Amino acid sequence: MTLTLVLGGARSGKSAHAQAAAEGAALLGQPVMIATGQAFDAEMAERIARHRAERAPGWRTIEAPLDLAGALDQLHEDDVAVVDCLTLWLTNVMLRDRDPEAEGDALLDALRACPADLWLVSNEVGWGVVPDNALARRFRDEAGRLHQKIAALADKVVLVVAGQALRLKPPA
């Protein structure tokens, strides 16, 4: 099992990077997309449709807006999977008044136990302006803590900016 965390800003190319890497690694099998987004409005439905259209044929999809640990439990040693994305999952957790730290710890346990090769995609949200409301500040802080824990566990960490990947771990 290889765990890769792919971070970047909105529309940075992080999903495309993770998908291409997973397709390259899944030469003999079918890559798996673990999708965390939910279409609560037309704009999000369009984003989800665009992401599906960008994937090559043959991807298997697991919808996991909340039970990400359960989705990882479904994977096998020969699977290659992309989780897209952790920040949408964290949003879902927080909007349902679940404890993000406990959910994050359960996710970390599932990551440690998962036998598949994984690419975890997430938005780096800590570089912008300090949010003007408590919920947004809490989200930014929870995302930062989650990223640090996953990066410590990960074999590789990649930052994608303008479609260009910069390897952070291990150093280039």
Catalytic residue positions, numbered? 51
Cα maximum dimension of the chain: 48
User: Which tokens in the block code for residue 55?
Assistant: 């994937």
User: Which tokens in the block code for residue 72?
Assistant: 């990882």
Q: Residue 44 belongs to what H/E stretch? A: helix 42-54
Q: CB of 119 within 8 A of CB of 14?
A: no
Q: CB of 139 within 8 A of CB of 94?
A: yes
Checking 130-135 for CB contacts under 8 A at 24+ apart, the result is: 135/94
CA distance 153 to 151: 5
Among 50, 3, 48, 8, smallest CA distance to 22 is for: 3
Among 105, 102, 134, 139, smallest CA distance to 122 is for: 139
